[in-house]
Chains A and B, each alone.
Chain A
Amino acid sequence: MIAPARAEVEFGGPTRGRVWRRGIASFLSASWLNVLGAAIVLLVVFVAAFGPAIAPHDPNHIDLLNVLKPPSGAYPFGTDNLGHDMLSRVLAGARISLVVAVIILSLSVAFGTLLGIVSGLMGGLVDELIQRVTDLFLAFPAFILAAAIAATLGPSLYHTVLALAVVFWPWYTRLARGQVLSLREREFVLASRVAGGRTRWIAIRHLLVNILPIIVVQVSLDVGYAMLATSALSFLGLGAQPPTPEWGALITDGRSFIQTAWWWPTFPGLALAITVLGFNLLGDGLRDAIDPRLRGSLGGVE
C-alpha cells in the first residue's frame, strides 16, 4: 500500500560534517576581509595561548641597564622606563585582553540570553518586569555606567570585568527576547508541544538552538568592543594596575613618554587596534554569512 517515493526527492544532500566544512570554505571565499579577520583572530588566540612561551623575556623582568631602549634586534618593540621588554609585555597583554573579553561575554551572554528567553517565553508581567529593568540599564550611556561601577568598586581588573558584564548583558536579553517572540509562534514549537515536549526542553532544543547563530555573530562583534572597553577603563586607571601588562595600562603608562619613547605607547596601541579590527572583521563577515541563511531557515522562506 505504501507507495514507493524514491523519485520524489534527491537524497544527495550533505551530512553534518560536510555542512561545516562547506560553510567555512564559503565564508573564507566570500571576501578577503573575512580571511584577514580570521587570520588576525587566529593569531591573537595563538599568542594568547603560547605568548609566554615565545616571548624573549619575562614581561615583568626589570632590567635597569636597558631602560627606554628604542626598538632593536634584542628588543624589537623597545623597552620602558623600567627596562621591561615591550614585545614580551604586548604578547602577555594578548592573553589578558582575550581572557577578560571571554569572561565578560560569557557572563553577559549566559545571563542575558537566559533572561531574554524567559522574558519572551513567559510574556505578561514577567516579560514586562525584565524588559523595564533592561531599559533601565540601556538608558545609561554604556561606558559611563561601566566607568561609574568600576570606580565605585575600586580600581582592579576584576571590577572592570564585572562592570562591563553589567553593561553588556541587556543587549543579549533584547536580542534573545526578540528572536523568541517570533520563534515561539513557529509551527515546529507547536509540533514539539503536540509531541508532548516539556517547556524547558522546547526552550533549549528549539529556541536556544535557533537563536545561537545570531548570538554567535553578536559575540564576535562584541569581543572587540569588550577588549576596547577594558583597555579604555585601564587607560583611565580604573582597570588593570601596574605591573599587569594590560594593553590599556601599557598605553597610559607610556603616554607621557610619547615624545621621548614613542615605541612604548605605540606598540600596545597597535596591538589593541589590530586585534579589535580582526574581531570586527570576523564579526561582520559572520553576520553577512549567516544573514542569508537566516532568511532561509528562520524566516521560513525556502
Chain B
Amino acid sequence: MTEPVLAVRDLVVRFRTGKRVVHAVNGVSFELEAAGALGLVGESGSGKSVTSLAILRLLPRHGWIERGEVRFEGRDLLALSATDMRTMRGARLSMVLQDPLSSLNPVLSIGEQIEEAIRAHADASRAEARRRAAELLAAVGIPRPDEQLDRFPHQFSGGMRQRVMIATALALRPTVLFADEPTTALDVTVQAQVLDLLRTLTAEMGTAIVLISHDLGVMARMTEDICVMYAGFVVEQAPTEEIFRRPSHPYTVGLLRSIPHRGVARGALHAIDGAPPDLEREPVGCPFAPRCAWRIEACWREMPPLVAAGDGAHLLACHHPATPEEAAAGRPLDPGFAPAPPPGDVAAAAALLEATP
C-alpha cells in the first residue's frame, strides 16, 4: 500500500444554528491514495459535502472544525495559514460543485471564468490563460472551444456547464479532486457522459478523486473504495466490490436494497423505514439504531468503533452486523430475534450520564 496523498483523521465539524449546535460530522477518517478513487455515499445530511468543504476549509461562516487532522501530501491542512490554504485550493485540491447552473457567474463569459482559475495561481498572461482555457474546453469535449470562450453560461446547457466546471477544476492538474454530486443536476442521458469524462481526465492527469453521491450506481462505476456515511459517522468502509458483494452494516444493506431493480413489480420499492436523526442532539449510541432491524441493546448506548471486519480492507462500525444471508433477505434471520426496544427513561438517563464525562 502506497503512502496516501490525503489522510483524514477523526474529523469533527459543528454548525451553530441560533443557540443550537448541529453535529454535522462526528469523527470521520479515511485515506486516499495517489490517483485513487474514493466514494462518500450516504443520504442527504449525512455529512458528505460538509466533510469535503471542511477539508478545503470552506465551511460556511457558522460552521467550524471542532477537531481532527487533515494531512495532504505530508502537510497538515488545518494548520496552514489562510493564504497558504488559498494557494492550495484550485491548484492542488480542487472541487466540482453539485449545481453547474449556479456555479458559473451569469455575467462573466465562460472564458473569463476558466482564465480566472488559471490566473489565480499561475503567473500567466491573459493570452496564455485564454489559450490554456481553449485547450481545456477541447479536453472536456466542447466543440469549437475558441468560439465558446466568449459566450455566457446561460447559452450553455447543464451538461455543457458541468463540463466547463470540470475544465476549471482540473485546469491546474490538482492532486485531489472532490466531486460533490457532479451529475445530480443533470439529465440522465448526460450523466454518463460527464462521469466518463471525469474518469478519463482524472486518470490521464493522475488526479485522485473523492466522489460524493447518494447514487450507488454511480459509485459502482467510478470508485475503488467506498465510505458509507450516516449522520456524520462513517459506518462502513470497504473496496467498492466488497461493499456490493458483502454489505454488513444494516444501513448499507438498506441502501443497496433501496436501488430499484428491473423486473421488480411496480410499487415494490424498498425504503429504509424512519428518518435520519436530529443532528442537533448530542449523538448517543449508534445513530442508525432507531431505524435498524438488527439493533441490540448495546446499540442504544454506545457508538461502535470503526474496526476491521473480516479481511483488513473492510471496516465496519456495528455491534450486530448483517450476515450475507440476512443482507440478501433484508432482515435478521436469527429465529426469535427482535430489535431491542428503546431504553426507558431511566436507561436513557443512565446512558446520557455514561456518555458525558
B105 touches A8 (CB 8 A): no
B160 touches A5 (CB 8 A): yes
Q: Tell me, rounded to whole Å, the shortest Cβ–Cβ distance linking B48 to chain A.
A: 16
Q: How far is the CA of A300 from the CA of B144 in the complex (A)?
A: 27
Q: Tell me, rounded to whole Å, the shortest Cβ–Cβ distance linking A122 to chain B.
A: 10
Binds B, one of A35-43, A167-175, A195-203, A276-284: A195-203
* Residues of B close to A298: CB separation below 8 A: 106
* Residue in B closest to A19 when the chains form the complex, CB atoms: B152
Taking a contact as CB atoms closer than 8 A, the residue among A6, A123, A195, A297 that contacts B106 in the complex is A297
Q: How far is the CA of A192 from the CA of B169 in the complex (A)?
A: 10
B102 touches A188 (CB 8 A): yes
Residue interface bits A170-204, CB-to-B below 8 A is 1, else 0: 00000000000000001110111111111001000
A201 touches B120 (CB 8 A): yes
Which residues of A in the span 16-44 have a Cβ within 8 Å of any Cβ on B? 16, 19
A196 touches B121 (CB 8 A): yes
Count of B residues near A, CB < 8 Å? Answer: 55
A191 touches B104 (CB 8 A): yes
B94 touches A5 (CB 8 A): no
A206 on interface, CB distance cutoff 8 Å: yes
With known contacts A1-B200, A300-B102, A194–B58 Cβ distance under 8 A: yes
Q: Tell me, rounded to whole Å, the shortest Cβ–Cβ distance linking A278 to chain B.
A: 28
Which residues of B in the span 68-112 have a Cβ within 8 Å of any Cβ on A? 86-91, 94-95, 97, 99, 101-109
Residue interface bits A112-143, CB-to-B below 8 A is 1, else 0: 00000000000100000000000000000000
Taking a contact as CB atoms closer than 8 A, the residue among B58, B107, B156 that contacts A297 in the complex is B107
A123 touches B61 (CB 8 A): yes
Taking a contact as CB atoms closer than 8 A, the residue among B97, B143, B159, B197 that contacts A187 in the complex is B97
Q: Tell me, rounded to whole Å, the shortest Cβ–Cβ distance linking B119 to chain A.
A: 9
B270 on interface, CB distance cutoff 8 Å: no
Taking a contact as CB atoms closer than 8 A, the residue among A2, A201, A206 that contacts B197 in the complex is A2
B159 touches A8 (CB 8 A): yes
Q: Tell me, rounded to whole Å, the shortest Cβ–Cβ distance linking A16 to chain B.
A: 6
B239 on interface, CB distance cutoff 8 Å: no
B107 touches A196 (CB 8 A): no
* Residue in A closest to B144 when the chains form the complex, CB atoms: A11
* Residue in B closest to A124 when the chains form the complex, CB atoms: B61
* Residues of A close to B103: CB separation below 8 A: 187-188, 190-191
Residue interface bits A290-302, CB-to-B below 8 A is 1, else 0: 0000001110101
With known contacts A188-B102, A206-B105, A209-B107, A194–B141 Cβ distance under 8 A: no
With known contacts A1-B196, A16-B109, A190–B58 Cβ distance under 8 A: yes
Q: Tell me, rounded to whole Å, the shortest Cβ–Cβ distance linking A215 to chain B.
A: 13
B117 on interface, CB distance cutoff 8 Å: yes
B311 on interface, CB distance cutoff 8 Å: no
* Residues of A close to B196: CB separation below 8 A: 1-3
B165 touches A191 (CB 8 A): yes
A210 on interface, CB distance cutoff 8 Å: yes
B205 on interface, CB distance cutoff 8 Å: no
* Residues of B close to A54: CB separation below 8 A: none
* Residues of A close to B91: CB separation below 8 A: 196
Q: How far is the CA of A3 from the CA of B196 in the complex (A)?
A: 8
* Residue in A closest to B53 when the chains form the complex, CB atoms: A190
B142 on interface, CB distance cutoff 8 Å: yes
Taking a contact as CB atoms closer than 8 A, the residue among B88, B152, B156 that contacts A196 in the complex is B88
Most B-side CB within 10 Å, residue of A16, A194, A209, A297: A194
B97 touches A194 (CB 8 A): yes
B148 on interface, CB distance cutoff 8 Å: yes
A198 touches B102 (CB 8 A): no
* Residue in A closest to B58 when the chains form the complex, CB atoms: A193
* Residues of A close to B171: CB separation below 8 A: 195
* Residues of A close to B144: CB separation below 8 A: 11
A205 touches B147 (CB 8 A): no
With known contacts A3-B141, A5-B159, A196–B151 Cβ distance under 8 A: no
**20 A-B pairs (CB sep. < 8 Å):** A2-B139, A3-B197, A4-B141, A5-B143, A8-B159, A9-B156, A9-B159, A11-B144, A13-B155, A15-B150, A194-B58, A194-B95, A195-B120, A195-B171, A196-B88, A196-B120, A205-B105, A210-B106, A210-B107, A300-B101
The 6 A-B residue pairs with the shortest CB-CB distance in the complex, in nearest-first order: A196-B90, A13-B155, A195-B90, A297-B106, A195-B117, A187-B102
Sample of 15 further A-B pairs with CB below 8 A, known A2-B139, A196-B89, A297-B106 = A1-B199, A5-B142, A13-B155, A188-B102, A191-B168, A195-B89, A196-B91, A196-B117, A196-B121, A197-B116, A198-B86, A205-B105, A205-B116, A210-B105, A210-B107
Binding site for A on B (CB under 8 A): 56, 58, 61, 86-91, 94-95, 97, 99, 101-109, 116-117, 120-121, 139-144, 147-148, 150-152, 154-157, 159-160, 163, 165, 168-169, 171, 190, 192-193, 196-197, 199-200
